[in-house]
Amino acid sequence: MATISVKAADGAGEFSAYVAKPAAEKAGAVVVIQEIFGVNGSLRATCDQLAAMGFLAVAPDLFWRLEPGVDITDKTDAEWQKAFSLMQAFDQDKGVEDLRATLTLARALPGGNGRAGAIGFCLGGRLAVMMAERSDADVVVSYYGVGIDGLMGEIGQVRKPLLLHIAEQDEFVPAAARERVLAAVTGKPGISAHVYPGVGHAFARVGGVHYDARAATIANGRTAETLAAVLG
């Protein structure tokens, strides 16, 4: 495991990215998009799991413009308050710019095969949908993205495979918002959405307080199949 630097497209500086490399060469790359807790132990564990499946995982520090190196958990009220404060101050459009820069770098990393996708969780799940709409990612996976119903006006711009994992009882996504998303993506070529019954937000967060082993296993299996089919 290693850390690399990525140059921001707007010339504002450089930011770090955690990299987990697979044993095999010529691997597809996956840009792993953080939750509101930064590139923390849970996200690094997710990267390590992707590397174990044969993908080159790269997780950029998207909060670097606010506070570099954020690494907090979902275990205390103080950490939640900090996470929400960072999310509210975060410029999502700049975040997508940084993700596109990371995607370009990931395609060219040694050991890669030139193909690259993105996978995101929570805030990252929303940014993942934005990447599907606004980047040349070969494949995108979104886990319980918040506020993605507000992005459906651009859903027609998606040209590559997009997989959505949606929690039926997501406390941050009202049922009406979920139904708007499902209505917008139904019948769209290359887009698939799965609703996981009886689970709440962050059901696949490694080590998280709301982790649900059954839903996570099913969702992660679908993710692995989708990534393998596109990235090799």
What is the structure's pLDDT at 100?
A: 98
Q: Are 27 and 56 in contact (CB under 8 A)?
A: yes
Kindly report the number of other CB atoms within 10 A of residue 157's CB atom.
9
The residue from 61, 74, 201, 212 that is catalytic is 201
- Domains in the chain (CATH in brackets) are 2-231 (3.40.50.1820)
Query: Tell me, what DSSP letter sits at residue 193?
Result: E
Edge-to-edge strands of the sheet including 14-20? 2-7, 14-20, 56-60, 27-33, 112-121, 140-143, 162-167, 191-196
pLDDT number for residue 144: 98
pLDDT tens-digit profile, the chain (232 residues): 799 999 999 999 999 999 999 998 899 999 999 999 999 999 999 999 999 999 999 999 999 999 999 999 999 999 999 999 999 999 999 999 999 999 999 999 999 999 999 999 999 999 999 999 999 999 999 999 999 999 999 999 999 999 999 999 999 999 999 999 999 999 999 999 999 999 999 999 999 989 999 999 999 999 999 999 999 9
Q: What is the pLDDT of residues 15-39, one digit of tens each?
A: 999 999 999 889 999 999 999 999 9
pLDDT confidence of residue 81:
97
User: Exposure string (b/e) for 19-56, b if CB count within 10 Å is 16 or more?
Assistant: bbbbeeeebbbbbbbbbbbbbbebbbebbbbbbebbbb
Q: Considering the entire predicted model, what is its pTM?
A: 0.97
Please say if 93 is a catalytic residue. no
State residue 150's pLDDT score: 98
Separation CA 123–CA 136 (nearest Å):
20
The catalytic position among 98, 149, 170, 212 is: 170
Q: What pLDDT shows up at residue 186? A: 95
C-alpha closest to that of 36 among 70, 77, 2: 70
State the DSSP code for 98.
Answer: H
Active site residue 165: no
